[in-house]
Amino acid sequence: MTQPQPLGQGRATRFEVNGLAIAGLSWGDPGHAPLLALHGWLDNAASFACLAPLLQEYHVVALDLTGHGQSDWRSADASYQIWDDLPEVLGVVDALGWGSFNLLGHSRGAIIGAMLASSFPDRVQKLVMLDALSPAPVPAEQFPQQLRKALLEKPALLGRANRVFSSVEAAIDSRCRTGLSRAAAEMLVRRSIRGCQRGLTWTTDPRLHGASAVKLTDGQIQAVLAGLKMPTMLMAAQANARRMPDMVQQARECIPSVLVEEVEGGHHFHMESAAADVAQRILTFLP
């Protein structure tokens, strides 16, 4: 099946929030309705390079979340828990002058988006989540073990170097092995790689591979989802058949006003052959 090519690479954007440089890409007329896009784990703003140009009625701003793409890494004393991105995301929308906005998230970005929307329902007009809803819950009694794991992993990850590649093609091959199409992998890789002494290496912070010190309990996750008072849409990948039924059921049981749709393709369906279909569904939902 023919894979889409990005219709427009987007305009480079950059924000300074809480001492961190937050990079990103934007598409569309700044006078149009605002739409913030948050990417998934180890991805970057180019995750939306196929989808955003098709959302012509919106001013789409896609961020490189901290530690990803061309944004700064957090300081050595900081962490990468899912809620750690929220102050910077709020700082960006404030810098843009967006009192309220639409929110689009993929994977980890969808989970971050849900937490933001639940905490600030007055600011998020509509929420679109692509193939993710919430993190897997961890029972409260397992907190000590989870904390121990995070504390043991952090020192090792602080000193760890990213993998080195001999060429961009080799880096693209490595992302293809995770299930991405070559076209999608290339979009992401070219924004997340830099030169180093021995060749090329990732720009992503190795600490993103570490365990979180705190995991949400089932009750906390239900509270977040119940707090999504705005119209919400979940698009679930048909290829993820094993986890899709549970995710869909959770959305319907916990989110007050939710539209659930199944989309052909895998986890990155918004970057692949379903991109035009996904864009049309979003345009139908958002107005």
Residue whose entry in the numeric block shows the structure tokens 């793409």: 69
pLDDT at 66: 98
- pLDDT tens for the 287 residues of the chain, in order: 334 444 467 999 999 999 999 999 999 999 999 999 999 999 999 999 999 999 999 999 999 999 999 999 999 999 999 999 999 999 999 999 999 999 999 999 999 999 999 999 999 999 999 999 999 999 999 999 999 999 999 999 998 999 999 999 999 999 999 889 999 999 999 999 999 999 999 999 999 999 999 999 999 999 999 999 999 999 999 888 678 888 999 999 999 999 999 999 999 999 999 999 999 999 999 98
pLDDT at 202: 97
1-137+217-287: what fold?
Answer: Rossmann fold (3.40.50)
- For residue 107, indicate whether it is catalytic: yes
- Catalytic, out of 47, 107, 134, 192: 107
231-286 residue pLDDT tens: 999 999 988 867 888 899 999 999 999 999 999 999 999 999 999 999 999 999 99
pLDDT at 4: 46
* pTM, 2 dp: 0.95
CA–CA dist 73, 69 (Å, integer): 10
Tokens describing residue 34: 């605002």
Domain definitions of the chain by residue range: 1-137+217-287
